[in-house]
Structure 1
Amino acid sequence: MKPDLRTVLNREIIIGDGAMGTFLYQLGFPVNTSYEELNITSPDVISDVHGQYLNAGARLLETNTFSANDYKLARFGLESKVEEINRAGVRIAKAAAGPEHYVVGAVGSICGGKRLNISKLELSRNYEQQIDALLSEGVDGILCETFYSLDEMRIALHSVRKYSDIPVICQFAVDQVGRTQDGFLMAEAFSTLRNEGADILGFNCHSGPQGIMSVMEQLDGPLSMPLSVYPNAGLADYVDGHYVYGASPEYFGECATSFVDLGTRLIGGCCGTTPDHIAAISKALNNVQPPPLASIEALSTESIHVVEQTANEGGRGNGRHASDPNIVDLVKERHTVIVELDPPRDLDITRFMQGAHVLKKAGADALTLADNSLAVTRMSNMALGHLVSIETGLRPLIHIACRDRNLIGTQSHMMGFDALGIDHVLAVTGDPARFGDLPGASSVYDMTSFEIIRMIKQLNDGVAFSGKPLKQKANFVVGAAFNPNVKHLGKAVQRLEKKIASGADYIMTQPVYDPELITAIAQETRHLEVPIFIGIMPLASGRNAEYLHNEVPGIQLSDEVRARMSGLEGSEGRAMGVSIAKELLDTAMEHFNGIYLMTPFMFYEMTAELTSYVWQKSGRALAPLFRL
């Protein structure tokens, strides 16, 4: 007979399995069906997935029952099969696992970050029905996963404890802010759940390894109980109608030991992970002995203090003049620098506006503001763009995503830009909402990036999206995004040609970290008539470098850059990041007039120094050289 899961996790590491749903999706099963129904219609498929994870090194399997509750199954007309599906899921997993491996019943959040019209009583009924079925087949524990609120997690935990003293694992899906959706710090949530009967606490989904690590480092006090982590394989990218995850198995293996050092005893994978990811974790942790839980002190994230640079430029500026040349005309004449500064996630805009003033003083030609990048809620870029124009005189270049607005909202938004005199925009698809800080939000996608470019340019012809004539014409200069960090650059350029055919006036690339790739881009795009702004984002630390390379779609770092950044943090890391960026600028300025600098973590001092470097190198030193 196997020892109790709690006992084992107190003294050793257990490797869990990886994703079920996204793995089935990769195998060709459509996303708009119930994967849990496969427990009764195609048990051999589920058994095979379990077997692949066991062969990869997993010692603990989750049942294929994440959404096997009355509320979720009713969407597919399967509400009468709750017990049958859950019991079948346990039987399949136990048959695959054999007597030596653990099987836990997977119970997913019903609300899933959404504000559903469902009472606590109804939630309890749903959880109790599912959990009773799982327990009846003899699972070794219950795993409550992908919960966003403490309130709902408590309901699920109480539902287990109503029937059994079985081991319970409680896992939250949170972003780097480290709070539940109902406002509790993770230390507070963990303390509550521990007092109410949870045995193992942890995180899964929503974030990749770095995001989860950053939250773990915020936990207060000694970690006296085992933690579990099941990260996503980075952030998902939406490519040609499919979700694609970029974090490699090798990266998961590298992160595994860091998780153990933070108190992790159960480690597996969530969305986007495969048997290869689990094999990499298993290999990395082979013969690794975890430190005693009582000896592990919670870590705090290092507070990074940056000297504030304020630009004393008097009171409010008068904004730009209508006669100013647009970015396209400017870049044909000389090197031109666009700097990105993300709107704040808070209501305080003090540091943002300080950054805008500093970048103006450094000589930036335009300040570009993303539209809730990575689907994380930020202050309106329209409002901030208007303030930037008025108070600094910098030209605002505003991103507009297909994700957040339908056709009505998009045209309304564009009409507002026109009224405010904001005439430079960048049309982007936008990262899926389900991977942001409000996963219950809808991703609209009424239009593709091609269509939104065409329709914005239609406003320049005095024609509304509906086809009706407008009383006057707009004057938008529309940019398109380009990701050159791909295996087949030629194919990516072909896609870019379609955006130009749709009406794109200029191109802004994802950040590039390889001088040879910059040269290749110049060669592959030399036939294009629109200007290209090469994206360069200085790295802030070694961890930042690994996060970008492994978890953020569309960004790839060279091995050399990663090696140079490895282990560097704080001011030392930022100084190296700026040094690497200058080397990239040396190559970029040989081939392109357009430079697109992206500010990391509001460290605008870094992009101000790089802006000054461009002017110094081009002989147009309009501002003193900034130094970190």
Structure 2
Amino acid sequence: MARTVEFKKSLQTELLVGDGAMATLLYQQGSALGASTEELTLNNPDWVRSVHLAYLRAGARVIETNTYAANREGLARYGLETKTTRINRAAVQLAREAIEKADKDAFVVGTVGSILAGRIRSRDLEEYRDVYEEQAVALLHEGADGLLLETFYDLEELLLALDVLKPLTQSSGTPVIAQLSLVEVGRTRDGYELGTAFEQLRAAGADMVGLNCRLGPAEILRSIENTVVPEGLALSAFPNAGRLGLIDGEFSYTSTANYFGESAVKLWEQGVGLIGGCCGTTPEHIKAISDALADRPRIIRTNPDPVRPRLEVIDGDLRPLRHVTTEKPSVLDIVKERHTVIVEYDTPRDLDIERFVTGSIELHNAGADAVTIADNSLASTRMSNMALGSIIKREYGIETLVHVACRDRNLIGQQSHLMGLHALGINQILVVTGDPARYGDLPGSSSVFDVSSFDLIRMVKQLNEGIAFSGKPMKNRARFVVGAAFNPHVRRLETAVARLERKVEAGADYIMTQPVYDVETIIAIREATQHIQVPIFIGVMPITSSRNAEFLHNEVPGIKIADSIRQRIKRYEGERAREEGVEIAKELLDEAVKHFRGIYLMTPFHYYEMTAELTRYVHEITKAERAVLAVPDRIH
């Protein structure tokens, strides 16, 4: 009991370093392939003990038991439900043995993971009470110094778990840490703002609250710094090592250990008292945290000023100009004649479309040849691009180019969706695979992927021949101009180009690249795609801040931003930083227009003013060149 009281006091007064990932580290070592990670506690205790020991030697003082999914529900998937108590008790023993071997003053927290684990709820949460109690009793009986509730996407499930655990811990004074996982910055999956969620968790008896998993350091930092945390409430943060991405056929995380150490200092500045790592982190990441925080005291958090709802005043009414039915040239037609700019602008996450319509009008007025609209990018739910594409095209005369993802619709839905686009006069599309649903704001939803992007391109061209997906003839032919995506941020560019060639063979009419952040990559793409005889729209997305640059560089798979650029924008904040981001983008565009007639601008965080300025700039610097094309023998 004395140990639990000491840990409870340390959570309130000391700056503590937590450990890092268990499951992903074991998977990287090949130790848990095809098995339950939690079962290794019984079958291969040396592996688990060695991971604990590595984190202790790296500087961790809080060690989590290998019990994230060691509940009756989770273990039943492997036929292990009858071993629930044994696994949890053995896990506490292994963590304690590692601490003794390391001869270090450290604490053991019994880890209790979400049962829903991001899935869509199909049962009454009350049915989980006994499941949580069984696991917690085993962890407490074996002498865990504290309990850690982690990776809860829904506040309501976390509150239920706390309601079960607090009566079990009252007599011993065992502290309980409650951590949420966010699907978007500052808000839980079930719709609670983070400050409200923290307040409810404190009222429910949590000794410390925090965030773990799902987001990397930058987004967890942004969530915390913009949140009014109840006074005196201790905070924890266990970010992922950036975002999980598929690079050259392998899933991997991108954040380096040095970046993690720098991020830990920023979290400390926000008053976070327990800092560790989640998925993708290693002992090297934890050592970087420990080194960066060495000799720093625990500091009291200063909350931001409460934010008032921001009201935007827009001159004039957004009344429809006219209903536009005239067929206009596609971007494929325009790029044959001159430099062409398409601008991506995301639809809203809620039901208010005013800013989207205003931004689209501004981009059109700036000279955008088409506004391109993603299809729930990053697997995050947004308003239908079909609906908003139709509104701005038919009511404001703005050309639209909509993305069509393979992720969200089966073949029936895909053909129906394309037929609807055709009926609305939206004939310019970009076919993309789409990020898996588990990375988005509804991670429990399914990813369909009936077909690949190659298959869907071919099937769209089949509609252009007047043949349905089923092979049946149709009364009319579609008129789709079909684009394909190209990601140059891979270890071997030739492999990506070979994939691009297959898309062109499947029928792609043009190509749109991921954003590029250096001149060398622009030139490399140009050299590697000399032989491809369809237009390529080179992607440029302006940086908005130093934090945005560091996030892209350290947490987004495949993207690297030169040290000189990151240092350059680091000197500025707010609007001045965005101005510098536009200047950097202009320098890239100066080079891009020498090699590509297609320019693809991506609007960051709805700052359409930035891409409107860049659109005007492209037309300005290429106006004199329209009569003398840089590459007269081919269209690129």
Q: Quick check: TM above 0.5?
A: yes
| C-alpha contact (below 8 Å) 2:513/2:537 kept by paired residues | yes
| C-alpha contact (below 8 Å) 1:202/1:228 kept by paired residues | yes
| 1:254 matched to 2:262 | yes
Instruction: Specify which of 161, 182, 187 is matched with residue 195 of structure 2.
Output: 187
1:626 matched residue in structure 2: none
Instruction: Specify which of 364, 382, 385 is matched with residue 386 of structure 2.
Output: 382
1:102 matched residue in structure 2: 107
Deviation per CA, 1:62-117: give whole Å up to 9, x if none: 11111111112212222111112212222222212226322111111111233333
| C-alpha contact (below 8 Å) 2:240/2:280 kept by paired residues | yes
74-83 vs 353-362, which moves further: 74-83
Deviation per CA, 1:377-404: give whole Å up to 9, x if none: 1100000111111122222111111221
| C-alpha contact (below 8 Å) 2:92/2:144 kept by paired residues | yes
Task: Give me the whole-angstrom Cα distance separating, in 1, the residues matched to 2:355 and 2:87.
Answer: 53
Instruction: Specify which of 494, 501, 504 is matched with residue 498 of structure 2.
Output: 494
| C-alpha contact (below 8 Å) 1:356/1:392 kept by paired residues | no
| 1:410 matched to 2:418 | no
Aligned-pair RMSD on alpha carbons?
A: 2.4
| 1:212 matched to 2:220 | yes
380-389 vs 276-285, which moves further: 276-285
Matches within 5 A, 1:348-497: 348-497=352-501
| C-alpha contact (below 8 Å) 1:175/1:211 kept by paired residues | no
Task: Give me the whole-angstrom Cα distance separating, in 1, the residues matched to 2:154 and 2:464.
Answer: 46
Task: Give me the whole-angstrom Cα distance separating, in 2, the residues matched to 1:13 and 1:310.
Answer: 51
TM-score normalised according to structure 2 size: 0.92
Deviation per CA, 1:286-323: give whole Å up to 9, x if none: 222232x3xx211259889898776989743343632x
Give the AA of the match of 2:60. A
Give the AA of the match of 2:257. P
Task: Give me the whole-angstrom Cα distance separating, in 1, the residues matched to 2:613 and 2:309.
Answer: 19
27-36 vs 549-558, which moves further: 27-36
Task: Give me the whole-angstrom Cα distance separating, in 2, the residues matched to 1:143 and 1:313.
Answer: 51
1:57 matched residue in structure 2: 59
- Partner-residue secondary structure (3-state), 1:297: coil
Give the AA of the match of 1:96. A
- Partner-residue secondary structure (3-state), 2:457: helix
Matches within 5 A, 1:107-146: 107-146=112-151
| C-alpha contact (below 8 Å) 2:404/2:432 kept by paired residues | yes
Task: Give me the whole-angstrom Cα distance separating, in 2, the residues matched to 1:419 and 1:486.
Answer: 38
| C-alpha contact (below 8 Å) 1:310/1:358 kept by paired residues | no
| C-alpha contact (below 8 Å) 1:543/1:567 kept by paired residues | no
Give the AA of the match of 1:382. M
Give the AA of the match of 2:283. P
| 1:549 matched to 2:553 | yes
1:159 matched residue in structure 2: 164
2:630 matched residue in structure 1: none
| C-alpha contact (below 8 Å) 1:512/1:535 kept by paired residues | yes
Assess, with a 3 A threshold, how the Cα gap between structure 1 residues 548 and 447 changes in structure 2: closer, same or farther.
same
Matches within 5 A, 1:520-559: 520-559=524-563
- Structure 1 residue 280: deviation in Å? 1.7
Assess, with a 3 A threshold, how the Cα gap between structure 1 residues 187 and 335 changes in structure 2: closer, same or farther.
same
- Partner-residue secondary structure (3-state), 2:482: strand
2:95 matched residue in structure 1: 93
30-39 vs 611-620, which moves further: 30-39
Give the AA of the match of 1:72. G
- Structure 1 residue 56: deviation in Å? 2.2
Instruction: Specify which of 82, 85, 105 is matched with residue 83 of structure 1.
Output: 85
- Structure 1 residue 241: deviation in Å? 5.7
Task: Give me the whole-angstrom Cα distance separating, in 2, the residues matched to 1:139 and 1:382.
Answer: 53
| C-alpha contact (below 8 Å) 1:311/1:357 kept by paired residues | no
Task: Give me the whole-angstrom Cα distance separating, in 2, the residues matched to 1:167 and 1:314.
Answer: 58
1:42 matched residue in structure 2: 44
Task: Give me the whole-angstrom Cα distance separating, in 2, the residues matched to 1:447 and 1:242.
Answer: 20
Aligned residues: 618
Give the AA of the match of 1:91. Q
Assess, with a 3 A threshold, how the Cα gap between structure 1 residues 303 and 259 changes in structure 2: closer, same or farther.
farther
Give the AA of the match of 1:8. S
Task: Give me the whole-angstrom Cα distance separating, in 1, the residues matched to 2:378 and 2:302.
Answer: 32
408-417 vs 523-532, which moves further: 408-417
Assess, with a 3 A threshold, how the Cα gap between structure 1 residues 123 and 10 changes in structure 2: closer, same or farther.
same
1:229 matched residue in structure 2: 237
Give the AA of the match of 2:353. I
Unaligned residue ranges in structure 1 (runs of 5+): 623-628
Matches within 5 A, 1:293-372: 293=300, 296-300=301-305, 315-319=320-324, 321-322=326-327, 324-372=328-376
- Structure 1 residue 540: deviation in Å? 1.5
Assess, with a 3 A threshold, how the Cα gap between structure 1 residues 14 and 314 changes in structure 2: closer, same or farther.
closer
Task: Give me the whole-angstrom Cα distance separating, in 2, the residues matched to 1:326 and 1:6.
Answer: 65
1:512 matched residue in structure 2: 516
| C-alpha contact (below 8 Å) 1:371/1:381 kept by paired residues | yes
Task: Give me the whole-angstrom Cα distance separating, in 2, the residues matched to 1:242 and 1:280.
Answer: 25
- Structure 1 residue 582: deviation in Å? 0.6
- Structure 1 residue 176: deviation in Å? 4.1
Matches within 5 A, 1:583-602: 583-602=587-606
| C-alpha contact (below 8 Å) 1:175/1:212 kept by paired residues | no
| C-alpha contact (below 8 Å) 1:238/1:431 kept by paired residues | no
309-318 vs 560-569, which moves further: 309-318
- Partner-residue secondary structure (3-state), 2:336: helix
Give the AA of the match of 1:276. E
| C-alpha contact (below 8 Å) 2:67/2:112 kept by paired residues | yes
Task: Give me the whole-angstrom Cα distance separating, in 2, the residues matched to 1:577 and 1:311.
Answer: 30
Deviation per CA, 1:343-388: give whole Å up to 9, x if none: 0111111111011111111111110001111111110000011111
| C-alpha contact (below 8 Å) 1:402/1:428 kept by paired residues | yes
Task: Give me the whole-angstrom Cα distance separating, in 2, the residues matched to 1:533 and 1:86.
Answer: 54
Assess, with a 3 A threshold, how the Cα gap between structure 1 residues 120 and 527 changes in structure 2: closer, same or farther.
closer
16-25 vs 577-586, which moves further: 16-25
1:625 matched residue in structure 2: none
4+ runs deviating over 4 angstroms: 29-32, 239-242, 300-314
Instruction: Specify which of 19, 24, 31 is matched with residue 26 of structure 2.
Output: 24
| C-alpha contact (below 8 Å) 2:248/2:490 kept by paired residues | no
Q: Identity of aligned pairs, percent?
A: 52
